[in-house]
Amino acid sequence: MNYQKQEYLECGVTARWLELEKAKNAYEYALQYSSNQRYGLNEKTVSNITPYAIQNDQAAKIWLKEQFPNSGTVQIVHGREAVCVVDTEQFLDNWNHLFMPGRDDVLILHNTSDVIAFYYHEEILEIGQRLPLR
């Protein structure tokens, strides 16, 4: 079991981990929204990008809840072989236990809206709206 799966279990977060081929496809799709110039979202495929420097977990949790619909699920892309689907409400309540400063760079895509987030290891969140891909 990879460390992410173990951490999700330890946090009590129910995650459905994608099989390898599906995870690779989800990763390739998500990469279109990630900048190849810097850590963060891609300005060409994401609009209204808003950065948030995490000062404390509670304030960041409130901010995230204001940005994300609390229904549906999110797809959390840790890497090419580690992609899971989690209930949005569980994600919003537990995100700070799932991602580690200094280690994780993660894309989070909401399944029923165009909201996308990027958490990167320097404790920065970016939120934006996915644009239609050509």
DSSP 75-124: EEEEETTEEEEEEHHHHHHHHHHH--TTT--EEEEESSSSEEEEEETTTE
pLDDT tens track for 26-49: 999 999 999 999 889 999 999 999
Q: Rounded to an integer, what distance in angstroms lies between the CA atom of residue 134 and that of residue 123?
A: 31
Averaged pLDDT of the chain? 91
pTM: 0.92
DSSP 46-75: EEEEEEEE-S-HHHHHHHHHHHS-SSSEEE
Would you tell me the crossing angle of helices 3-11 and 88-98 to the nearest 10 degrees? 110
Task: Write down the pLDDT at residue 97.
Answer: 84
Residue 102: pLDDT band by 50, 70, 90 thresholds?
A: low
Task: Write down the pLDDT at residue 133.
Answer: 86
Q: Rounded to an integer, what distance in angstroms lies between the CA atom of residue 16 and that of residue 78?
A: 13
Which helix (H) or strand (E) segment holds residue 22: the answer is helix 20-31
Residue 128: pLDDT band by 50, 70, 90 thresholds?
A: very high
pLDDT tens track for 38-91: 889 999 999 999 999 989 989 999 999 999 998 999 999 999 999 999 999 999
